[in-house]
Amino acid sequence: MRLFERIEAQLEKLPERPFWPRPSPLDFTTNDYLALQADGIIAEILRGFPAELWRGSGASRYLGGDHPAYHHLENLLHEKYGQPALLFPSGFVANITLWEALAQRGDTIIYDREVHASIRQGLRLSLAQAWGFPHNDWEAAEKLLRQARGETFLVVESLYSMRGDMPDPEALRYLQARYECHLILDEAHTTLIYPDGETWAHHHGLNPLLTLITFGKAVGLMGAALLAPPLLHTYLQRRCIGTIYSTALPPLIAAAVAQVFAQARAWLPRQTQLWQTVALLRKRLSAEGIPFLGLQGPIAMVKTPAAGIPLKRLSPPTVPEPMYRLSLHANHTQQDIETLVRALKVGMNQL
Ligand SMILES: Cc1ncc(COP(=O)(O)O)c(C=O)c1O
């Protein structure tokens, strides 16, 4: 088949994917969990920087694009999280380029099948064997771990964006100790949502080999960092193509991300508010008999649309059955939650 005929045939099967600006005034869609964007905090931070920073990086950090702002951010993250940090232009780039460098032929990667598309694509670039287990099914994961050969990696997320649930920290602790596997955690959706910016892993007393934190969600900007032990950090810095062969973030962004992390204590009222809102919505949905999944963090999945409030509708294979995803933010008021619950009830009755 000629290329354009083939593409036309494929397009017929693909649902439309419209671009979607931030809903206003009620945003239950974006990942601005701490509302640092919505409340103008990010704008204020950006405005505070001198003109010297108002530019792109110009190149990869290894080709004239390095800037003190990246070192400042990496040092700050190192100090904060106790492990050296390596910056990436995005979480997507980090995940897609990590595995080719980290795992080798003869190794085994065991991953939750619901991990982000960037991890799944990244695993395809590695020569190691990669085995998926059904979402949060620890017995299935253990069966695979028993058969694993070589260096063994166990890959999970701290909060699943299309489910709203988390892995069981006890199961991870057990599997890590019993099988001496390397735990790799993608913390994209939990970055900065715990007091003082503590990681989900630290919050639960876990000790992953590698942690991905991202700056495009609660942090309100963009970019990502891998936190790794010193030897692995040095190795990835020399070997991981996502950080070597890609234009570095604009220094302004790195400087602003650093400022957000430097002020992590100031976000405590927002973090507290966010978790209270999570608890409130859980209580209200249960009380109103509205079925939901997730809400172990600020993400919920509901089966019904919310009348008048735009929610992202997800279809299989992203989710097992059609669902609407909603995310909670620190600036949602009790009244906003009531508006949402009422809209979901109306949506439920219209089905
Ligand atoms: C779990 C997870 N990891 C990685 C990414 C990619 O991060 P970024 O948006 O910084 O590219 C996402 C994005 O949604 C994600 O949900």
The pLDDT value given to residue 288: 96
Q: Lowest-confidence range among 91-105, 275-289, 314-328, 331-345?
A: 314-328
Residue nearest to atom 8 of ligand 1 (CA): 91
Query: 153 forms bridges with which residues in the sheet?
Result: 109, 182
* Dist. CA 2 → ligand 1 center (Å): 35
Q: Is 191 in the pocket of ligand 1 (CB under 6 A)?
A: no
pLDDT in tens, 201-210: 999 999 999 9
Mean pLDDT of 131-144: 98
Q: What's the rounded mean pLDDT across residues 323-327?
A: 96
- Using the predicted structure, report yes or no on whether residue 1 has a pLDDT greater than 80: no
In contact, 112 and 133? CB cutoff 8 Å: yes
Q: In DSSP terms, which residues pair with 152 in a beta bridge?
A: 108
Q: What domains can be seen in the chain, in order of their start residue?
A: 18-41+267-350 (3.90.1150.10), 51-262 (3.40.640.10)
135: confidence class by pLDDT, cuts 50, 70, 90: very high
User: Over the stretch 107-119, which tens digit does the pLDDT of each residue have?
Assistant: 999 999 999 999 9
Residue 103 pLDDT = 98
| pLDDT score for 318 | 78
Residue with tokens 């890590």: 176
What is the CA(214)–ligand 1 centre distance, in A?
7
The arrangement of strands across the sheet holding 299-302 comes to 292-294, 299-302, 323-327, 312-314
Ligand 1 contact, 90 CB (< 6 A): yes
Mutate to test the pocket of ligand 1, among 33, 190, 214 (most ligand atoms within 8 A of CB): 214
Atom nearest to 224 CA in ligand 1: 10
Is 321 a residue whose pLDDT tops 90?
no
Q: What is the rounded CA–CA span in Å between residue 149 and residue 153?
A: 10
